[in-house]
A and B are shown apart, each in its own frame.
Chain A
Amino acid sequence: MKRLLLGLLALSVTAQSPQDADRAVEAVRPAVLWRAPRDLGTENWSCGSAGCAAAPAPPFYFLQEDMEGTFPKLTVKDAHGRSWSVKFGGKVIPESFCSRFVAALGYIVEPSYYVAAGRLVDAGHLHRARHFIHADGSFERARFQLRDPKMEFLKNHAWSLADNPFRGSREFAGLRVVMMLLSNWDAKDVREGEKTANTGVFRAPDGELLYSFFDWGSALGRWGKVMRRTRSDCSGFTRDSPHFINGVRGNVVEWGYSGKHEDDVRGGITLDDLRWLAPYLERITGEEIRAGLEASGATQRQTACWAGALEYRIRAIEAVARTGRYWR
Chain B
Amino acid sequence: MIARAVVIALAVPISLLYAQAASVDCSRRTAEDYVPITRTERAANYVRSLTGPHAYLYAGVLAGYDQWRNRPKEWGQGSLGFERRFGNDFATHIVTTTLQHGFALGLGEDNRYFSSGAHGFGRRLAYALTSPLLARHADGSRSVSISALGGVAGGSLIEQVWQPRSTSRMGNAARSFGLTFAFRAGLDFAREFAPRAARAFLR
Contacts and interface: CB of A to CB of B under 8 A. Distances in A.
B124 interface: no
Interface string A298-327: 011110110111011001100100110111
A91 to B, nearest CB: 8
- Contact-size category for B: 35 or more
B24 interface: yes
Contacts of B32: 299, 301-302
Contacts of A308: 16-17, 19-21, 26
Contacts of A71: 38
Interface string B1-40: 0110111011011101101110111111110110110111
Nearest to B17: A312
The SS class assigned to the A binding surface is helix
23 contacts: A70-B38, A70-B39, A70-B40, A90-B36, A131-B137, A131-B139, A233-B29, A233-B33, A234-B26, A235-B30, A239-B26, A241-B17, A300-B24, A301-B32, A302-B33, A304-B23, A308-B16, A308-B17, A308-B21, A309-B20, A325-B3, A326-B6, A326-B10
A89 interface: yes
Interface of B: 2-3, 5-7, 9-10, 12-14, 16-17, 19-21, 23-30, 32-33, 35-36, 38-40, 43-44, 47-48, 108, 117, 137-139
Contacts of A232: 33, 35
Nearest to B13: A315
A89 B108 contact: no
Interface of A: 70-71, 88-90, 131-132, 140, 226-227, 230-236, 238-239, 241-242, 299-302, 304-305, 307-309, 311-312, 315-316, 319, 322-323, 325-327
Contacts, number: 110
Nearest to A232: B35
A230 B38 CA distance: 11
Contacts of B27: 235, 238-239
A305 B25 CA distance: 8
B16 A312 contact: yes
